[in-house]
Amino acid sequence: MTNTNKGQNVCGLKPEDFQTSINGKETELYILRNQQGNEVAITNYGGALVAIMVPDRDGKLANVIQGHDNIQDVIHSPEPYLSTLIGRYGNRIARGKFQLHGKEYQLPINNGPNSLHGGKKGFNAKVWDALQMNENTVVLNYISAYGEEGFSGEVKVTVIYTFTDNNELVIDYMAKTNKKTVINLTSHGFFSLTGIANPTPTIENLQCEINADYYLPIDEVSIPTGEIRLVENTPFDFRKPKPIGQDIEADHEQIRHGAGYDHCFVLNKKEEGELSFAARIVEPTTGRTMEVFTTEPGVQLYTDNWADGYKGQNGATFPRRSGICFEAQHFPDTPNHPYFPSVILNPDEQYKQKTIYKFGVQA
């Protein structure tokens, strides 16, 4: 079920531009709309978010997520994870190796010496089965075959996108496996609260708050060292709001390792798995705000350190540091750090997580 009347799509995207067939599976554009007339547009190729139309303090709608305006550009994007779903394993696994039930697994190497975001063809590059339930909700399903990208077990994944009348984009994830495996799903939204443009403005003026007393330091190839370090007296202290750009070029080993921020923050939780506040950003010129809530133990802050001004939807361009990502997830390289919160999924269990991106305005 798609909305074929482009006159009603405030995002300006055309369903026919997102229709193709890949290995016998059809791609489509799905429009979610709430009672305020705001919109979220999603394609079932990689579950990519291609528009989030929300108002500024004057009521003016703009698209606040980076994406493309046709299916070929989504498939061939210079940023393959641009606002897509990520799996089976979000973030990095050192040398693509880990042990599970006494066996060593080897994943594809696609990021320096490491495996990133599920390997060379992760969930971001799959056509998901999609069903739009109503104006607010689309359900995506994907079956990841046994051995896909080197992972054990056949995994059945469901992701539900819901856009509420409170301007919350709710992402519910569920998964089952037929054999013990590891799983770490996330959404890699590249948010630009000013609204995308040519060029899309820098994120460095965003006021950012992250509900974390600790973060995970990384080595020179972006793998966690295993230490869990206090944010206090470091560029990683966002416990009180401060501009993203304030310390992004700090003379600090960790900033150098990430070429900016590309680090997992250990979220403050009263209990494991609770849905709680993770982060908030405020864009001062438009007044737009975004709050992040998640059941996950961590959130990866990524400040778009490698973009080069490539083209996006409706003539927008995306220079370096024009997007910000809050990837709610378990920690990077967890299979190689036994004391990190477990990412093992057994056949008698269900993987579940919920992450909410709530949009608003500040006067």
Q: Considering the chain, what is the average pLDDT of its residues?
A: 97
Q: What's the CATH number of domain 1-200+304-363, 2.60.120.10, 2.70.98.10, 3.10.50.30, 3.30.390.50?
A: 2.70.98.10
Determine which of 27-31, 124-128, 359-363 has the lowest per-residue pLDDT on average: 359-363
Residue type present at position 342: S
> Residue 7: pLDDT above 60?
no
Nearest-angstrom CA–CA distance, 289 and 59: 13
Q: What is the pLDDT of residue 8?
A: 72
Confidence class for position 4, pLDDT limits 50, 70, 90 = very low
Catalytic residue among 68, 79, 148, 188: 188
Q: What is the pLDDT of residue 2?
A: 43
- Centre a 10 Å sphere on the Cβ of residue 176 and count the other Cβ atoms it contains: 16
Q: Which of the four pLDDT bands, split at 50, 70 and 90, describes residue 363?
A: confident
Q: What is the DSSP letter of 75?
A: H
Q: For residue range 262-304, what is the model confidence (pLDDT) as tens digits?
A: 999 999 999 999 999 999 999 999 999 999 999 999 999 999 9
Which helix (DSSP H) or strand (DSSP E) does residue 71 occupy? Answer: helix 71-75
Tell me whether residue 68 is one of the annotated catalytic residues: no
Let me know if 194 is exposed, middle or buried by CB neighbors in 10 A (0-12, 13-18, 19+). buried
On whether the CB atoms of residues 271 and 295 are closer than 8 A, the answer is no
- Report the SS3 class of residue 217: coil
217 confidence band (pLDDT: 50, 70, 90):
very high
Q: Is 335 helix (H, G, I), strand (E, B) or coil?
A: helix
248 in Cβ contact with 261 (< 8 Å): yes
* Token duo for residue 29: 């554009």
Average pLDDT over residues 130-137: 98
Domain ranges of the chain: 1-200+304-363
Write the pLDDT tens digit of every residue in 114-127: 999 999 999 999 99
Examine residue 199 and say whether the peptide bond preceding it is cis (omega within 30 degrees of 0). Answer: yes
What would the mean pLDDT of 248-267 be, rounded to a whole number? 98
- Give the tens place of pLDDT for each residue, 317-357: 999 999 999 999 999 999 999 999 999 999 999 999 999 99
**Is residue 5 over pLDDT 50?**
no
Q: Which helix (H) or strand (E) segment is 30 a member of? A: strand 29-33
Of the residues 28, 39, 296, 327, only one is catalytic, namely 327
Q: Could you write out the DSSP letters of every residue in 98-127?
A: EEETTEEEEPPP-BTTBEETTSTT-GGGSB
Mean pLDDT of all residues in 172-183:
98
Q: How many residues does the chain have?
A: 363
Using left for φ > 0, alpha for ψ between -120 and 50, and beta otherwise, residue 221 falls in alpha
- Say if residue 3's pLDDT is above 50: no
Spatial distance between the Cα atoms of 56 and 249, rounded to a whole number of angstroms: 29
* 1 has a pLDDT exceeding 90: no
What pTM does this model have? 0.97
Helix/strand/coil for 18 = helix
Q: State the pLDDT at residue 242.
A: 98
Q: Give the DSSP per-residue string, 234-256.
A: STT--SS-EEGGGSTT-S-HHHH
